[in-house]
Structure 1
Amino acid sequence: MLGATVRWQGGGVDVAAVVEEKWGLGVQGVEELTGGMNSAAWLVVGDGGPVVAKVVEAGDLAFGAGLELAGRLGDAGLVTGRPVLSRAGRVVERVGGRQVGVLEFVEGVPLEGAAADQVAIGTTLGRVHEVSSTAPGGLEDWLQLVTQFDEWLDLEEWIRPAVATALDGVRELNGLSWAWLHGDPAAEAFLRQRDGTIALIDWGSAMRGPILYDVASAVMYAGTAEHVVRAYVEKQQQAADEIESGLEAFLNLRYAVQAGYFAWRCSTDVRTGLTDPAENRKGLADARPAFGF
C-alpha cells in the first residue's frame, strides 16, 4: 500500500511520504501493524530493508524519551528496535500535529506465559536496569503517572479509594533504586530471535523511575512472581531486599495505574488500539479484583 495514511484519533499522516521526505528512505510498501494502545504503527518495506514507523499524539512526552532510551540500550548490546535518525538527525519528527518515529525492525517470536519465558523476562529486565541505572528522583513527581488521572477516578466508586491506598503504600517505602524503565514489560514486548537472543521492543511507556515498577509490571502480566523475580535478582542481587519489602506495594500501584488509565479511556471514549470499545471496560474491570472489590 504505497502512500498509506494513518487514520487515527481524528487525524492522518501519510506514512510513505513522511518516511521518504523526512528519513530519505525509498518506500516500496506499507503494512499496518496492530496492538498499540497509544500509537499507530506500520511496517515500511524500503530499499534498505524493513523498518517500523510509529505515530503518536503531539503531547506524548514519553515517545521521544523511549526512542532515545532504546538507542542507548542498543549501544550497550541489547536488541531494542532502536530509532533510525531522520535526515535532520532527530529520533522524532513532528508532522501534521503528530509525532513520527522510525525504528529498526526486529524479528522474533513473542514470549508467552511459560516459566522459561518468565525467566527470560526477568533476566532481560535485570540487564536493562543494570545498564540504565540512575540516581533517584522525586517520588511525588514520578507518581503523576497515577495522579494525572485524578479527574476520572470517580467513574466507579471503588477506583478513587483503591488508587489512594496504592499511592500511600508506595509513599511509605524508603531507599528505592531508580533506573530508566521500559514501563510496560508485557510478554509480547519480548521477542525470542533465531539465535535465542531476547529482544525488548515497544518503548512508548519508557520513563525514569523506581525499578520496582518494571518488576511489578512484569509480575502482574505473568500472574506470579516466582520466575520473574528469581531471574531478575540473579542479575540485580542488590535489589533482593528491596523487592521483598516493596513488591506488593508496587503491584498495587501498577493496578492503580491500570485503573486510572482505563477510567480515563472509558470517560473520554479513547479507542486507539481497540477492535471493540468494550475492551476499555474490561481493562478497568481487570484491575478491580487486585483491591478486593
Structure 2
Amino acid sequence: MGAAPDEGESTPSASPAREGSAASTGTRTTPSAGWALLGSEISVLFRRRRTWVMLIALAAIPILIAVAVRISSAGSTPGRGPAFLGQITNNGLFVGLVALIICVPLFLPLTVGVVAGDTIAGEASSGTLRYLLVAPVGRGRLLLVKFVAAATFCVAATLVIVIAGAAIGAALFPVGPVTLLSGDTVSLGEAGVRALLIAAYVTLSLLGLTAIGLFISTLTDIPVGAMAATVVFAIISQVLDSLPQLDWLHPWLFTHYWLNFADLLRQPIDWSSFGSNALLQLAYIAVFGALAYGRFSTKDVLS
C-alpha cells in the first residue's frame, strides 16, 4: 500500500514507461479530460451487450404484467398481488407503477449491483485500470466518473420500466385521467409528470446502493464478487427493514424509503418521503464515496 497520490500525479506503482509517457506529454488533470473520460465511460457502458440484455429484461417485466392481466379471465383478486394491480384494467398507466413496485426490491438492485460492482474491479480484472490512470485525471476524478456512469444506468433502467409500462399499458388498456390515492383526479399530462417524478424517486433511491457497489469494487479485482456483494447488501438491508424488532435501525437503512413513492400520488404531493430519502441516499453517497476514495487512493494498481 503506497501513500495517496495527488490528483493527476503518477501512482507509486506506475511503470517507468507510464511515468515517461506522462512526463513527455506534459499531461495534467484538466476538466476537459474528466468530461472526455465520462463520455467515453458512458459510451462503453451502453455499448456492452450485458447492459442491453439487462435493460431488455427490465422492459420485459411491465410487458409480462400487462399481458398476464389482459389474458386473465378471472381478473385480479382484491388484496392479492402488488399494489395498484387491480387498477391496470381501468387505466393502462398503472402498468409502469406496478412494474416498479415489483422491480425495486430485487430486479433493479440486481442490475445496479452488476454495473456498480464492475466499476473498478472490472477494469482491474481486464488489466485496463492502470491505463485509465495514465489519462490526465486523478484517482478521485476517475471514481467520480465511474459513479456518474453507474448513476446514468440507474436513470436508464428506471425510465425503461416506466416507458415500457406506459407503452404496453396504452396498447392493451384504456388510458385517461388518473384517480390519485387522495381521491382527486388529474389529467393525463399531469399523470405523466407524476410518473416521471416517481422514476426520479426510484433513481435517487438506487444511488446509495451505487456508492456501496463502487466502494466494494475498490476492494477486489474480482468483479463477480463485487457484484454479488453489492446485491447481498441490498437484500440484507431489506431483510433488516422488515424486522419490527429493529425499528430503531430502519430509518438508517438505505432501502427504508424505497417503496414510499406512493406519496407522489396524492393531492397535494407529499414531499416528506422524497426529502427523507434524498438525505439518506446523500449520506450513503458521502460515507461510501469517502471510503472508496480512501481505499482507491492508496491502492497499488498492478493491472
Shared fold, TM over 0.5? no
- Higher normalized strand content (fraction of residues): 1
* Range of TM-score over shorter length: under 0.3
> Which of the two has higher C-alpha Rg?
2
- Higher normalized helix content (fraction of residues): 2
TM-score by structure 2 length?
Answer: 0.22
Higher relative contact order (CA 8 A, sep 6+): 2
TM-score by structure 1 length?
Answer: 0.23
